[in-house]
Structure 1
Amino acid sequence: MAIPRERVKRLYDEGARSYDLTTILFRLAGLRMQKYRSEVIDCLDLRSGNTVLELGCGTGLNFPLILEKVGPQGKIIGVDIAKGMLDVARSKAIMNNWNNVELIESDLALLKFPEGVDAVLSTGVFGYIPEYERVIENAYDALSSGGHIAILDGKKPENLPGIIFKFILAIGKQYGYTEEYFQVSPWEAVESLFSNTTFNTRYGGMIYEISGVKS
Structure 2
Amino acid sequence: MVTDRRDGNSPPSGSSTDDDHIAHLERSRTVWDRWSDWYEMSERDLEPMREAAIDRLDLRPGDRVLEIGCGPGVNFERIRHEIGPAGELVAVDYSPEMVEKARERVETHGWENVEVRRADATTAEFDEPFDGALATLSLSVMPDIRRATQTVSQSLVPDGTFVVFDIGTIPDGPARVLNPLIRRFLRWYANWNPDGDVVASLEAVFDNCTIVDTYMADTTYTVVCEKRKSA
TM range, smaller chain:
0.7 to 0.9
- Output the CA distance in 2 between the equivalents of 1:95 and 1:188: 39
Q: Give the share of equivalent positions with the same residue, in percent.
A: 25
Count of residue pairs the alignment pairs up: 205
**2:136 corresponding residue in structure 1:** 123
TM-score normalised per structure 2: 0.77
TM-superposed CA distance for 1:98, in Å, is: 1.1
1:18 matched to 2:38: yes
* Unaligned 5+ runs, structure 2: 1-19
Q: Give RMSD over aligned pairs.
A: 2.8
1:94 matched to 2:111: no
Question: Structure 1 residues 49 and 185 mapped into 2: Cα distance closer, same or farther (>3 Å)?
Answer: same
Is the Cα–Cα contact under 8 Å of residues 51 and 75 in structure 1 kept in the other structure?
yes
Is the Cα–Cα contact under 8 Å of residues 25 and 143 in structure 2 kept in the other structure?
no
Question: Structure 1 residues 143 and 82 mapped into 2: Cα distance closer, same or farther (>3 Å)?
Answer: same
- Output the CA distance in 2 between the equivalents of 1:106 and 1:204: 33
Which one of the candidate residues 187, 206, 211 is aligned to 2:219?
206
TM-superposed CA distance for 1:21, in Å, is: 3.4
1:166-177 equivalence runs, <5 A: 173-176=188-191
Task: Detail structure 1 runs of 4+ shifted over 6 Å in the superposition.
Answer: none
Q: Which amino acid aligns with 1:176?
A: N
Question: Structure 1 residues 88 and 6 mapped into 2: Cα distance closer, same or farther (>3 Å)?
Answer: same
**1:48 corresponding residue in structure 2:** 61
* Unaligned 5+ runs, structure 1: 28-32
Which one of the candidate residues 179, 184, 187 is aligned to 2:196?
184
1:68 matched to 2:81: yes
- Output the CA distance in 2 between the equivalents of 1:109 and 1:171: 21
